[in-house]
Amino acid sequence: MALKRKLMEEKILHFYRVNADTYIEETKGLDMSQTLYRFLEYLPSKGHILDLGCGSGRDTIFFQQHGYRVTAMDAAPEIASICSRNIGQEVLVMSAQSMDERECYDGIWACASLLHIPEMELGDTLHRLNVALKPGGVCYMSFKKGQGERWDEKGRFFFDTTPDIIRQALSYLEKIDIIDIEEQIRPLRGKRQAWVNVFFRKG
């Protein structure tokens, strides 16, 4: 099982390492402003945010411009290198499954960055995020809406989910309040994509 998991991670990571420039070009102009502003409404002024799966640095720059301290993190070294140049600071090269920080962040922004995690690992990953939040901290996550695990035509693994599945996964976390779980349609690569947006607060 450990070998299968490692091979899966390497295959997914390989896609983003080889296609770093293309991926960043496709995603850097996406308008997330409505959700970004909503996220900031839950955070203290000038708080500390983790941009988990930072990609081009699009959202990190938004947070910086609004006076927040930001730690940017991405699992793909090539993407992290490009992002570092874009945001003017070091980017941590790490996956969400490897996080072991405790009470560091006022907010965790995980925009489309947890959707490659297998269902069996989602609970542990959510626990890691919750531990990394300060008391009262808020996490935002987004997933593609759907049913179950799949590989796409580009060779990437996805765990597509629903509000009910996410609600069940969050029920195992200690001392959290679910702020909202909503469905949203937004464009991606010229197509309309259904997403599940999640906001929760650590108690």
Q: Are strands 69-74 and 92-93 parallel, antiparallel or unpaired?
A: parallel
- CATH code at position 159: 3.40.50.150
**Owning domain of residue 32:** 2-202
Q: Angle, nearest 10°, between helix axes 58-65 and 33-41?
A: 50
Q: Are strands 157-160 and 148-151 parallel, antiparallel or unpaired?
A: antiparallel
pLDDT at residue 5, rounded to an integer? 62
Q: Helices (DSSP H) in 19-114: which residue ranges?
A: 20-27, 33-41, 58-65, 77-87
The number of distinct structural domains making up the chain is 1
Instruction: Give the C-alpha distances (Å, rounded to integers) separating 117 from 8, 134, 165, 166.
Output: 10, 24, 14, 13
Q: Going residue by residue through the chain, which has 203 residues, state the pLDDT in tens, using 9 for 90 and above.
A: 555 566 667 777 778 888 888 888 888 888 899 999 999 999 999 999 999 999 999 999 999 999 999 999 999 999 999 999 999 999 999 999 999 999 999 999 999 999 999 999 999 999 999 999 999 999 999 999 998 899 888 888 999 999 999 999 999 998 999 999 999 987 666 678 899 999 999 99
Beta bridge partners of 151: 157
37 exposure class (CB count in 10 Å sphere: 0-12, 13-18, 19+): exposed
Residue 86 burial (CB count, 10 A): 19
Residues with Cβ within 8 Å of 16's Cβ and at least 6 positions away in sequence, in order, are 23, 75, 76, 78, 79
Q: What are phi and psi of 200, to 5 degrees?
A: -140, 155
pLDDT at residue 156, rounded to an integer? 85
Q: Helices (DSSP H) in 68-112: which residue ranges?
A: 77-87
Beta bridge partners of 197: 142, 182
How far, rounded to the nearest angstrom, does the alpha carbon of residue 68 sit from its chain's CA centroid?
A: 18
pLDDT at residue 127, rounded to an integer? 97
